Amino acid sequence: MHNLLRFLLKYHFVLLFILFEALALTLLLQNNNYQNTRFVQFTRTLKGKFYEQGMEIEQYLRLQEKNEKLREENEYLRNFIASNLQQQPDTFRKKVDTTHNQQYYYLTARVINNSVNKQHNYITLDQGSAQGVEPEMGVISSDGIVGVVQGVSENFSTVISLLNSELRVSAELSASGYYGPLNWTGGDYRYARLMDIPLHARLSQGDTVTTSGYSAIFPEGVPIGYVEDFEEKGGRFYEVQVRLSTDFKKLNTVYVVKNLLKEEQNQLEKEVKQ
């Protein structure tokens, strides 16, 4: 308080001058239309410049985010090329063409509806049968697994989200190679549960969890998440808490995965079972 009084006493002339100038400017603008109009135009111009600069900064920041997302997606797809190609000896090729060794085909789709807070969550995509989408195709993002196509119309499709207690996928611990069923049990959308990992398997927090490839839906090595925690269950297996790599609240662009050899694999496995 003492310092404030000293400040006012020291600069009271300056403060009075600023006060009177402000009062004079206010009276001038209130009683003269020309000056008032010019002042309003000036403030509008100033606000416009401010908003313009703010918009440019916002667009620049979003551009960086979009470029980073595109970079991640391109990097993911490039790294995935090796697992998309069937490595077959030339002696098994009946003819040479540009697609003889391609096993997986990817179709870009946009998420137009999504839920994360139910026991059975579904996702709607803007691609359907007209674009080649079929039931039981896998869906992934640049971050990892998303779900499995369930229903298809001409231009839309519904996906059973990984955040659906009825969906199970075969997951593998990259460090050790052990695998087991993974599913979401409800609650926090960021975590799922990996079961049936034997007790002699070496586990560490942060270990990578990916698809095992033991199905005709997902390629091997698609990211699922990371080991968050684990505990012994029943004296024979570990139950592993997996932090999902896909943020389901930020899903926008996804990829529908078509296995070009799925029918052949399913037919062979069916014949063996019979």
pLDDT of residue 183 exceeding 60: yes
Least confident of 12-16, 17-21, 58-62, 264-268: 58-62
Instruction: Tell me: pLDDT of 94 over 60.
Output: no
pLDDT of residue 152: 94
Q: Is the pLDDT of residue 11 over 80?
A: no
Q: How far apart are CA 171 and CA 244, in angstroms?
A: 12
Identity of the amino acid at 122: Y
- The mean pLDDT of 253-266, rounded to a whole number, is 83
Lowest mean pLDDT among 87-96, 204-213, 224-233: 87-96
| Whether pLDDT at 120 is above 70 | yes
* pLDDT number for residue 88: 44
Q: What is the mean pLDDT of residues 144-167?
A: 95
Distance, in Å, from the CA atom of 89 to the CA atom of 202, rounded to the nearest integer, reads 36
- Provide long-range contacts, Cβ within 8 A and 24+ apart, for 85-88: 86/261
For residue 35, give every residue at least 6 positions away whose Cβ sits within 8 Å of its Cβ, in sequence order, or none: 28, 29
Q: What is the mean pLDDT of the chain?
A: 80
- Looking at CATH, the fold of the domain delimited by 101-274 is given as Thrombin, subunit H (2.40.10)
Domain boundaries, the chain: 101-274
| pLDDT 10s digits, 35-92 | 556 655 566 566 555 655 665 666 666 676 666 676 566 656 654 554 555 544 443 3
Distances (CA, A) of 268 to 19, 89, 149, 262: 91, 21, 23, 10
Of 76, 124, 103, 105, whose CA–CA distance to 223 is shortest? 76
- pLDDT > 70 in the chain, percent: 67
DSSP code at position 252: -
What distance in Å separates the CA atoms of residue 259 and residue 257, rounded to the nearest whole number? 6
Who has greater pLDDT, 187 or 50? 187
Give the burial string for 204-236 (b: 16+ CB within 10 Å, else e).
eeebbbbbbbebebbbebbbbbbbbebeeeeee
Which residue, 79, 164, 150, 85, is CA-closest to 118? 164
The residue written with tokens 């969906």 in the block is 167
